[in-house]
Structure 1
Amino acid sequence: MKKQINIGLIGVGRLGSMYAEFLSYRVPRANLYAVADLIPERARSIAEKYKVRKWYDNHHDLSADPQVDAVVCTATTVNHKAIILDAIVSGKPTFSEKPLTLTLSDARDIESAISRSGVFFQQGFQRRFDKGFCAAKQKIDEGVIGVPVIFRGSSRDPYLPSIDYLRPENSGGQIIDMAIHDIDIARWYMGEFKTVYAVGGVLAYPQVKEVNDTDNVVMVFTFDSGSLGEIDISRNGIYGYDIRAEVQGTKGALQAGYLRETPILVLTEQGVLHDTVPYFPERFGEAYVSQLNNFLDNLGEQKEPLVKISDGIAALQIAAAATHSLNTNSIVNIADF
């Protein structure tokens, strides 16, 4: 049996609690050794539930723990920079959820620290580990649909998060919060972005105006190859969690993603009915597990990370440019950011 790696998990809220379960039961190489959260009761509760040896109310003590071999960061994005830099200074290999940070300057500071230290870092983009999105990438690379010429991506959330979460100082704004995965997949499939033009507004939930954000955005892109792209994001996909990507090529097209959760159709005189994917834990649970297994396999076998910090920065750069386009009603060159 391969040696287990002692993991320190920082941030055990909604996503972090999922990661605690994954690391405890579904990632063989992981030993969830410590957890930390700014809310002490939350850290203590997770530690008790999963029989974690240590819990902390701050990330500094966890990163300084000599028994922690590697850090997994699932904390609120606004805290990512401090957590990652602290882990890097402590020499801990680190995995961080998306987005890397809320600002490009912070992301580039992290990149510089990693470059100087040589500490292993892997960026989290779980859609790259989803079976459907992976299969699409393989077909594109095999030339099955010819040369990709158009990308379309769509992310629709089933309900609105809290207004406090939506504040741009917490979420980064709708584009950074919601579209960063679509942007990463588009870049993975199509190559580097060249320009972006974004339009959006508050179309479904008037209360979003209170925090100067949007609830629906459409973005149009050009790529360095000359190919074209479009991504739409919505907070009001009230029918279910709807995540899709399509690539049109010179010899065909492919589509990744699905809306139906359970493989059953109910056919009656009223019509044909099926359920829908409730939200991201159900849709991408397996991808999150595969991502964590990949992180620890890369770490244990001294392989290059599949998703590097440069990928995290590139996606954030495009999202920042799109946000600027939205705010200025202008076409923006990605290279200017």
Structure 2
Amino acid sequence: MSIEKLKIGVVGFGKMGMLHAGIVNALSEAKLVAVCEKNGLIRKFLSKILKSVSVVDDVEKFSNMNLDAVYVTTPINSHFPVVKRLYESKVACNFFVEKTLASNFGEAKEIRELARRFGGVNMVGYMRRFSVSFMKAKNLLDRGVIGEPISFKAYAYSSDFFGVKGNSKIRVPQVGVVRDLGCHAIDLALWFFGDFRVEDVKIESIINDSSADSAYFEVRGSNGLVGEFDVSWCVDGYRIPEVGFIIEGSEGTLS
């Protein structure tokens, strides 16, 4: 007896959209059936190579496709309006949204309320939590192997813009390095330690005057835990982005 595959749609067919579409098509339980992309040239190309996939220019055209889930992989500043329209058009109730969920806390809260109202399974693309190394670290912390955490240093580095000179015309993500890369370290720290308060922040513009390319900030938890974050996409030697931690406990160190 054959099992009917889950029907999946993808909104935004840039780098992450292509990645998730490829993963979906590699799963035996799911199939890509629809793509929404604003760029006409990309739509024309997709229509030629994805013969069995509906390619549209507006998310509301997903409405009559009976989709089981939708991946939203558009730029961060469009996540909120796209997700809101998908919910309100009743396209689906199961969503995966690339990080970060929204541009600000208010938008994120509204998306949360929509998710509660419509139900379903809802995820944000913080895949580092599913890394074997970080899952092991979480397990060790929960077991108290290093005692009570006292302090930590977290970093998120990449070489995406290493060597780029000041006032460059190279296009960088408008959301800045913290939301684009540093959010993974922040998410892991929240998972490891719970909520904390930001106490000091330093942002550096390297590529041009309006870009946020490097950030350092200090935090403090309610139990006295102190932490530091160092984030940059201008560091040599990180062709593949890397996130790491050094955690000092009352009975040992985890790194």
- Shift of the 106–163 alpha-carbon distance from structure 1 to 2, 3 Å rule, reads farther
Among 174, 185, 188, the alignment partner of 2:188 is: 185
Residue 176 of structure 1 is matched in structure 2 by 179
Pairwise CA distance, 1:230: 0.7
Answering whether residue 199 of structure 2 is matched by residue 196 of structure 1, we say yes
Spell out, residue by residue over 1:277-305, the C-alpha distance to the aligned partner (whole angstroms, 9 max, x if none).
Answer: xxxxxxxxxxxxxxxxxxxxxxxxxxxxx
Pairwise CA distance, 1:250: 1.5
Higher strand share: 2
1: CA distance, partners of 2:192 / 2:131: 14
2: CA distance, partners of 1:82 / 1:164: 24
The amino acid across from 2:33 in the alignment is: Y
Residue 64 of structure 2 is matched in structure 1 by 65
Taking CA–CA contacts closer than 8 Å with sequence separation of 6 or more, which of the two structures ends up with the larger relative contact order? 1
Matches within 5 A, 1:252-263: 252-255=252-255
Instruction: Give the TM-score taking structure 2 as reference length.
Output: 0.87
Determine helix, strand or coil for the equivalent of 2:201: strand
Residue 143 of structure 1 is matched in structure 2 by 144
Aligned residues: 244
Structure 1, unmatched stretches of 5+, are 256-337
The amino acid across from 1:234 in the alignment is: S
- Shift of the 150–220 alpha-carbon distance from structure 1 to 2, 3 Å rule, reads same
Residue 313 of structure 1 is matched in structure 2 by none
2: CA distance, partners of 1:30 / 1:151: 40
Residue 113 of structure 2 is matched in structure 1 by 112
The amino acid across from 1:186 in the alignment is: A
Matches within 5 A, 1:1-337: 3-25=4-26, 27-46=27-46, 48-49=48-49, 52-62=52-62, 64-89=63-88, 90=90, 92=92, 93-160=94-161, 163-167=170-174, 171=175, 173-202=176-205, 205=206, 207-209=207-209, 211=210, 213-240=211-238, 241-255=241-255
Spell out, residue by residue over 1:201-221, the C-alpha distance to the aligned partner (whole angstroms, 9 max, x if none).
Answer: 23xx3x421x2x332211110
- Shift of the 3–138 alpha-carbon distance from structure 1 to 2, 3 Å rule, reads farther
Structure 2, unmatched stretches of 5+, are none
Higher helix share: 1
- Shift of the 86–120 alpha-carbon distance from structure 1 to 2, 3 Å rule, reads farther
Aligned-residue sequence identity (percent) comes to 24
Contact 2:198-2:217 at 8 Å conserved across structures? no
- Shift of the 109–21 alpha-carbon distance from structure 1 to 2, 3 Å rule, reads same
2: CA distance, partners of 1:225 / 1:111: 28
2: CA distance, partners of 1:247 / 1:2: 46
- Shift of the 48–129 alpha-carbon distance from structure 1 to 2, 3 Å rule, reads farther
Determine helix, strand or coil for the equivalent of 2:10: strand
Determine helix, strand or coil for the equivalent of 1:166: coil
Determine helix, strand or coil for the equivalent of 2:101: coil
1: CA distance, partners of 2:220 / 2:52: 48
Spell out, residue by residue over 1:298-334, the C-alpha distance to the aligned partner (whole angstroms, 9 max, x if none).
Answer: xxxxxxxxxxxxxxxxxxxxxxxxxxxxxxxxxxxxx
Instruction: Give the TM-score taking structure 1 as reference length.
Output: 0.67
Residue 265 of structure 1 is matched in structure 2 by none
Runs of 4+ in 1 over 6 A off after TM superposition: none
Determine helix, strand or coil for the equivalent of 1:225: coil
Spell out, residue by residue over 1:31-86, the C-alpha distance to the aligned partner (whole angstroms, 9 max, x if none).
Answer: 11111111133244346545542111222212x13332111111111111122112
Contact 1:222-1:228 at 8 Å conserved across structures? yes
1: CA distance, partners of 2:100 / 2:226: 24
1: CA distance, partners of 2:111 / 2:20: 23
User: Root-mean-square deviation (CA), in Å?
Assistant: 2.1
1: CA distance, partners of 2:45 / 2:68: 22
Contact 1:85-1:110 at 8 Å conserved across structures? yes
